[in-house]
């Protein structure tokens, strides 16, 4: 699949810019037993390790928490999409996105680093959330990624959750 086809396939993944929903889902995730958490954890060393979590309180949303060997993580919440249906489909989506970025940049997956000021270090593609991978591929395709700032508040406040 070409990078263009990969981007077309996944551009419909929609991030939920709600700190409240992310916090609620994170709190529910932390309440799970270790066995329950293991059941929703998966990944691959090239494409990232992550929890993929849903809760009845937000049935149309899914939380992805990508962890790194450096001991940090990034969490994102998305509207349900066939790419985040389960661990296998998300891993396949991440593999396609990361490989498309690698193809577009012309470097191996392991050779690509992204400066992440929030973490204070350069991170690999496998340490980014799926939405960030889509943004990077979009930018590499020559399109801009316009986002609304959530600084100072919850963009979903007042909107249906």
| Predicted confidence (pLDDT) per residue in 83-132, tens digit | 999 999 999 999 999 999 999 999 999 999 999 998 899 999 999 999 99
Q: How confident is the model at residue 3 (pLDDT cuts 50, 70, 90)?
A: very high
Token representation of residue 155: 């963009």
Q: How far is CA 141 from the centre of its chain?
A: 19
- Of 64, 144, 132, 122, the C-alpha closest to 98 is 132
Q: What is the overall mean pLDDT for the chain?
A: 91
Q: Where are the domains of the chain?
A: 3-140
Q: How confident is the model at residue 161 (pLDDT cuts 50, 70, 90)?
A: very low
135 phi-psi bin (left φ>0, alpha ψ -120 to 50, beta other):
alpha
């Amino acid at each position: 699949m070409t990078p263009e086809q990969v981007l077309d396939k996944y551009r419909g993944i929609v991030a939920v810019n709600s700190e409240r929903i992310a916090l609620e889902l994170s709190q529910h995730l932390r309440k799970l037993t270790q066995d329950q958490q293991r059941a929703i954890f998966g990944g691959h060393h090239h494409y990232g390790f992550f929890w993929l979590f849903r809760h009845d309180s937000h049935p149309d949303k899914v939380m992805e928490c990508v962890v790194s060997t450096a001991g940090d993580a990034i969490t994102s919440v998305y509207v349900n999409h066939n790419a985040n249906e389960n661990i296998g489909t998300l891993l396949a989506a991440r593999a396609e996105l990361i490989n498309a970025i690698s193809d577009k940049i012309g470097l191996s997956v392991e050779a690509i680093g992204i400066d992440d000021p929030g973490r204070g270090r350069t991170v690999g593609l496998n340490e980014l959330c799926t939405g960030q991978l889509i943004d990077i591929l979009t930018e590499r395709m020559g399109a801009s990624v316009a986002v609304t700032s959530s600084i100072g508040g919850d963009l979903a406040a007042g909107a249906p959750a």
